[in-house]
Amino acid sequence: MTLSNNEAQKKSIGIVGARGHTGAELIRLIAAHPSLELAFVSSRELDGQSVADHVDGYSGELRYASLDAQAVAGQAADVVILALPNGAAASYVEAIDAAHPQTLILDLSADYRFDERWYYGLPELTRDKWHGQKRISNPGCYATAMQLSIAPLKDLLAAPPVCFGVSGYSGAGTTPSDKNDPEKLRDNLMPYALTGHMHEKEASRHLGVPVEFMPHVAPHFRGLTVTTNLYLSRKMTREEVLQRFRNAYDAEPLVRVVDEAPWVSHIAHRHHAEIGGFALSADGKRVVIVATLDNLLKGAATQAMQNINLAIGCAELAGIDPETTGRP
């Protein structure tokens, strides 16, 4: 069979840990990508089952396979996405490093977000730090929202930013727990990890300023809200604050600065983040900013595709239409 030029140029990509919510979103995005072809999807629980039976928006014949680290490395894919729990990526990275070091690895866990050898890919803030690295660490969902909320005012902070976060229960993954049990979450708001959360450490590290973060889980399925309180070293007007955010993000198709505080119900299945509110205290030295994003898309899968596109030489939004939803 003779391949067309477009097909011949497609890069192969595989996903490890594809059973989760983010894995399904990645499969949909890859299916719509003009330059990527899904080569394998690894899942112990779904081994042998048809991907199309589990993921709306995918119509190929691929089946899930249970692949250990050596088997994943043996696939020799151009790109491998690791969508595994924290602490599980190392064996796969080591196997790929040994067998096919030119394979592009994108890790969705927190395992390499503090490793200087890996590119930390929050494109709107770190795009100029990518220098051909083949190892990419995808930011956390909350950490993305916090950093986007704080970065334009980072030089004017008088105290550590304080962030109150609320996420849908999809952020707790598919392994059963109190944090993703709809019955326990019904009519409830569940606080957890109120100091020292991984995303608190991550945002502090990459912003270069201490950040305080208090996460909660709510009964809705997807989407998160972060409300950030910023004390400023000098008085500012609302228009000055807005202008800083417009200067930072007006050219960014996946970050939208809005006037009112955004609603999480408006961001579900959307590829972009929204930042708004910009409420100032009477003395002009405190501002409260609200950011929303879909934790499975801009907080994970969409951002992963931005980073992969950058690394394989595609337009950053290849396979991503910011004007449409990610809903299948």
Catalytic residues: 141
- Strands 212-217 and 190-191: what pairing? antiparallel
Question: Sign of torsion, CA 174 180 181 183?
Answer: negative
DSSP-assigned beta bridge partners for residue 135: 105
Q: Which two tokens stand for residue 226?
A: 């972060």
Q: What is the CA radius of gyration of the chain?
A: 20
Rounded Cα distance, 108 and 262, in Å: 26
Our separate counts of H helices and E strands in the chain read: 10, 13
Residue pair 179/167 in contact (Cβ under 8 Å)? The answer is no
Residue pair 43/53 in contact (Cβ under 8 Å)? The answer is no
Question: Sign of torsion, CA 163 200 104 22?
Answer: negative
Question: SS3 of 170, please?
Answer: helix
Helix (H) or strand (E) segment spanning residue 247: helix 238-249
